[in-house]
Amino acid sequence: MRVILTAAASTFFFATVLFSLASSFSTTAFLQPHRLLVPSPAYDTWHWQEAEGNLCANGSPTGFAYNLHPNATELVFYIAGGGGCWDTHTCFTKPISANLDGYNLTMFTSRTKGFLDNKLLLFARDAKRKNPFAKANYIFVPYCTGDFHAGDNVITYQGAPAPIHHKGLNNMRNILKFASNAMPDAQDVWVSGTSAGCYGATLNYVPAKKAFPDARVHLIGDSCEAPPGWLNTKPSWNLYQPSQADCPKCQKDEFNSLLPAYSLHNPSSRFASISFKGETVLPGYMQTTAEELDKVIDGYFTNVTHTPTNQAKTFMTAGRGHCVFFKHDPLSATNVSLSSWFATMRDPNSFFTSV
């Protein structure tokens, strides 16, 4: 058995996966000149795919990784975090965003694969981890654009030695195109991310929904909250925001309005916001104090919990920290494990609650 991935040389990256036996992926291929053969066994193993048109901040090409499971009807995206940059100082002098110089197969293999296999609960295949998504297909979205995966701009900052390609939105849309072509019959799509990837997952929810119009598209965000008006503070990114037509209740420039508004517009999907009680990293990026952001988180979690659909809930871990997903199977402040909470979230007939 072979897995055949095909890519189209066009603005958007088209690809599909062919199996010689029945599986969850489509048997329709876009036969194009570029072809990568992945030998058997292809299941439950990570594969790296270059994506034509996907760029890191320095303009170098990049891709993504995928991991397939037999007969999967669910697809889980995990969108990586890693800060952000918005001027010469933060992008070049003292960079505060990950992988601005590029991200490729070598970096995935040496830096990321072990974390996905052994640490991240959402991608755990080992039954001992009690991951309710263990039989899903997985896609890992790397981060190398410095724009929370939602920018659409190429800019040379004043005094900078080179331009920065804030093309996270284009990268994400290309990956969504690949996934929807390869798995058009997915029943449930889970868009998740941590930190910058959490903002990216949230901002890209509408593009994901459009890519999978017949699926229930859910959102799981870890460690992303923002003060009022924050989406308007990084004009150099040219950040994507959902339109009023796509999200009638979304408020322009107000990040914390998005998740509850998505839930109101998609009442059959489930939405989760996950965080420590207090943040240790975000205040610096949000240019606010820890105490002020604590108030933002408390208010945001209250709003999410009381979303009228009753399908949007929160998971809060005690203490201060950043990136709840980086823990093996963390407990909420009310002593509920993340794995059991995910199991409840995944069951559409369950009573989903904030913990």
Does the pLDDT value for residue 22 go beyond 80? no
DSSP state of 297: H
Q: Report the pLDDT value the prediction gives residue 3, as an integer from 0 to 100.
A: 32
Identify whether 35 is part of a domain: no
> Which tens digits make up the pLDDT trace of 268-284?
999 999 999 999 999 99
Does the pLDDT value for residue 39 go beyond 50? no
How confident is the model over 167-183, as a mean pLDDT?
Answer: 96
Q: Report the pLDDT value the prediction gives residue 9, as an integer from 0 to 100.
A: 27
Identify whether 18 is part of a domain: no
Identify whether 156 is part of a domain: yes
Identify whether 315 is part of a domain: yes
Separation of CA 18 from chain center: 25
Q: Report the pLDDT value the prediction gives residue 174, as an integer from 0 to 100.
A: 97
294: number of CA atoms within 13 Å, CB side?
A: 10
Identify whether 31 is part of a domain: no
Identify whether 7 is part of a domain: no
CB 219 within 8 A of CB 206: no
> Per the structure, how many domains does the chain have?
1
Q: Report the pLDDT value the prediction gives residue 215, as an integer from 0 to 100.
A: 98
Lowest mean pLDDT among 7-21, 129-143, 267-281: 7-21
Does the pLDDT value for residue 222 go beyond 70? yes
Cβ-Cβ contacts under 8 Å for 299 (sequence gap 6 or more): 256
Q: Measure the CA–CA gap between 185 and 26, rounded to whole angstroms.
A: 8
Q: Measure the CA–CA gap between 223 and 279, rounded to whole angstroms.
A: 8
In one letter, which amino acid is 200? Answer: G
Identify whether 2 is part of a domain: no
Cβ-Cβ contacts under 8 Å for 184 (sequence gap 6 or more): 26, 214
User: Percent of the chain scored above 70 by pLDDT?
Assistant: 88
Q: Report the pLDDT value the prediction gives residue 42, as an integer from 0 to 100.
A: 86
Domain range enclosing 300 = 40-346
- pTM metric for this prediction: 0.89
Q: Report the pLDDT value the prediction gives residue 15, as an integer from 0 to 100.
A: 32
* Position 21 confidence tier, pLDDT thresholds 50, 70, 90: very low
User: Percent of the chain scored above 90 by pLDDT?
Assistant: 88
How confident is the model over 263-271, as a mean pLDDT?
Answer: 98
> Which tens digits make up the pLDDT trace of 45-99?
999 999 999 999 999 999 999 999 999 999 999 999 999 999 999 999 999 999 9
Q: Report the pLDDT value the prediction gives residue 41, as an integer from 0 to 100.
A: 57
Does the pLDDT value for residue 14 go beyond 70? no
CATH number at residue 149: 3.40.50.1820
Identify whether 141 is part of a domain: yes
In one letter, which amino acid is 239? Answer: L
